[in-house]
Chains A and B, each alone.
Chain A
Amino acid sequence: MADTEATGTGPTAATREPLLEVDHVTLRFGGVVALDDVDFTLYKGEILGLIGPNGAGKTTCFNAMTGIYRPTEGEIRFRGQRITGKKRHQITKMGMARTFQNIRLFPEMTALENVQVGADAHHKTSVISAMLRLPRHWREERDGREKARELLDFVGIGHRINEMARNLSYGEQRRLEIARALATSPVLLCLDEPAAGFNPAEKEELLQLIRQIRDRGVTVLLIEHDMRLVMGVTDRIVVLEFGKKIAEGLPAEVRDDHRVIAAYLGVPDDAA
């Protein structure tokens, strides 16, 4: 079974090192409680799935974790540091990268340039040295290009390197987003429904890619609708419903949890 395999490669209890801690986070928009006392931890080296029915607060949670929303109560710690109040680009520099549910590339830049923007996150070339083409500029440009090429090959679109992002196919754009996020050298990669709109063959390829990303030493947070995909690749799963965490555990445990079945699957899990 795919899920037991995945579980086997995750970190063991002894080596668990918390990477991202969501500490009793509540988030209200006016009267609406979008997240209600959500509490879980993401450990280094694992692939964590965040699932839940539509409107459960997955993307809200995701946005809070990546610093876009500020929690009303509780706090989020990344590598032991509070991320509340940090600027977005600082959070990226700390090692958190993300993709978007609705693809948000820079459409009028080439695939290479898109990934280079990610690689630039750690570059230090100043405006002056870029203007005068000082040695640091050349060095960082070369490094950035090499890194971008390598990542485009890694995600499987190395042959489309000089194509405008807007001209890439849907699947290629999704892959480009992953390459761009990886270019920021993240410790944690957050994927927001990366398989949306994929056919089964493409989903299988994506699964492989996510495993390869983990094997590069990157922890992965995966928000996903597709249960098969989530079961197949994640080490642990957190389930949200109406902004509350209703279950957390290994894929097999979560799959058999009555609340999860009731909330998420709706029907008993006979077919699977």
Chain B
Amino acid sequence: MTSLRTKLHDARGQLSDRWHHMPKWTRWVLIAAVVVFFYALPNEGFYQHLGPIPTTESNFGQVLFTVSIYVLLAVGLNIVVGFAGLLDLGYFGFFAVGAYTVAVLTSPSSDLKTLWQWEMALPLAIGITMISGLMLGTPTLRLRGDYLAIVTLGFAEMIRIAAVSSEFLKGQRGLNQIPHPPGEYADGKPVFGVLDARPYYWLVLTLIIVVVILVSNLNRSRVGRAWVSIREDEDAAQLMGVPTFKFKLWAFAMGAAIGGLAGALFAGKQNFVSSQNFELLNSIIILAAVILGGSGNIVGAIVGGGLVAYLIERFRGIELFGIELYEYRFLVFGLTLVIMMIFRPQGLIANRRRSAEFKDRRKEVAVGG
């Protein structure tokens, strides 16, 4: 077992070494190939050659849309949890704020009757979610560790309960007829229709690329350094001149804005938003995705978010010993997490820094035992 683990570990190390030693253009070509692959993925002519990868029981384009939303959320949460080290258990609350903002402003069943277009409501949804992040962060970011986790958990529940019980948000009946994003083909058919989920997926994929570029710019700037220094040693960071509160608040606001963007996209695709869309479980799943993929690493967050959302859908329609696997998806998911935490606590794609830390801890344990 150990030797297998070391072998796997070495293989991965070589892979990452090789990646970092590649000439720049090779890396760009590889990245471009991956991007093209994901743009091509929802086309039947392409995915039918991919063996067991497409889902059998549900529309693959629809599944990919769901997966892409989770990836976007994981990238956003990674800023908060992975970079700045703030444990946020209520991240899905921001998703809900984004979705509801769009719904309330656009839906004919909303009391506001503003009937905005989706694209008009989008920037406002992002803005309001950001403000809700600041409102949650201003009092709570003075707390550390466990306390912050509890408060953020409470926040997500507050949003959900408000959605269930508020007359304005229409509870389980929800808000319907939310408009789709704009755009028409040459023949007058809308790009973003009801049947075909692929355009939505392409839209989210494009936005993921934009967000990832912006976030990795931040990561490689004084802002990213400030976040990591806060995660590493908040007191020392303060004494080295980092305005820690301000940067924690920024991490929260950026994470929230991305969550709001995801929520707005979801509302535009779904046409319908109700309180049932925002179960607490979703917050946990995204957090687990970030940790599974490798906290503090953008690629890790993408892989984690993608894998978790995809596998849950992939379980649909698979029977094992007469058991519908989909029914047990969270059990399988939980077990996977437990196994991961035992054998690979730094996540699938480890931050090079984090893996060193975990290696050291293992050494410490070995010495202690």
Contact = CB atoms under 8 A, between A and B. Distances in A.
A108 B222 contact: no
Interface in A115-168: 116-118, 120-123, 125, 127, 130-133, 137, 140-141, 144, 164, 166-167
B239 A109 contact: no
B238 A106 contact: no
Interface stretch (B9-17, B101-109, B201-209, B227-235): B227-235
Interface in B306-336: none
Contacts, number: 104
B194 interface: no
A266 B239 CA distance: 35
Given A88-B238, A88-B239, A184-B241, A108 B228 contact: yes
B12 to A, nearest CB: 19
Interface string A167-195: 10000000000001100100000000000
Interface in B223-257: 223, 225-226, 228-229, 232-233, 235-244, 250, 254
B218 interface: yes
A109 B228 contact: yes
B228 A89 contact: no
A65 to B, nearest CB: 12
Give the most central of B214, B232, B239: most A CB within 10 Å: B239
Interface stretch (B22-30, B111-119, B175-183, B351-359): B351-359
Given A127-B250, A166-B356, A117 B239 contact: no
Contacts of A140: 222
Interface residues of A, number: 40
Interface in B292-306: none
Interface string A97-122: 11010001111110001001110111
Contacts of A97: 239-240
Given A66-B239, A104-B236, A166-B357, A131 B229 contact: no
A120 B226 contact: yes
Given A108-B356, A108-B357, A127-B250, A120 B225 contact: yes
A117 B357 contact: no
Nearest to B250: A127
Contact of B225 (A93, A117, A166): A117
Given A109-B353, A130-B223, A121 B242 contact: yes
B221 to A, nearest CB: 4
Contact of B241 (A92, A107, A125, A127): A92
B353 A104 contact: no
Interface in B136-164: none
Interface string A70-91: 0000000000000000011100
Contacts of A137: 221
Contact of A121 (B223, B240, B354): B240
A130 B225 contact: no
Contact of B240 (A118, A125, A130, A167): A118
B118 to A, nearest CB: 25
B360 interface: yes
Contacts of A132: 214, 217
Identify whether the interface residues of B are mostly helix, strand, loop, or mixed. helix
A92 B240 contact: yes
B142 to A, nearest CB: 13
Contacts of A166: 356-357, 360
Contacts of B228: 106, 108-109, 113
A131 B214 contact: yes
A108 B238 contact: no
Contacts of B229: 106, 109, 117
Interface string B252-265: 00100000000000
Contacts of A123: 222
A100 B236 contact: yes
A89 B235 CA distance: 10
Contacts of B217: 130-133
Contacts of B233: 104-106
Contacts of B241: 89, 92-93, 118, 120-122, 184
A170 to B, nearest CB: 15
B218 A131 contact: yes
A123 B214 CA distance: 20
Contact of B236 (A106, A121, A133, A141): A106
Nearest to A123: B222
A125 B225 contact: no
**Of A100, A108, A140, A141, which is in contact with the most chain B CB atoms at under 10 Å from its CB?**
A108
Given A130-B221, A166-B356, A105 B238 contact: no
Contacts of A104: 233, 235-236
Contact of B223 (A89, A92, A127, A180): A127
A106 B232 contact: yes
Given A121-B241, A131-B217, A107 B232 contact: yes
21 contacts: A87-B243, A88-B238, A92-B238, A93-B241, A104-B233, A107-B232, A108-B356, A109-B353, A113-B225, A116-B225, A117-B237, A127-B250, A130-B217, A131-B214, A132-B214, A133-B221, A137-B221, A140-B222, A164-B353, A166-B357, A181-B240
Closest 10 CB pairs of A and B: A121-B241, A108-B353, A130-B221, A92-B241, A106-B232, A88-B238, A104-B236, A120-B222, A130-B223, A89-B241
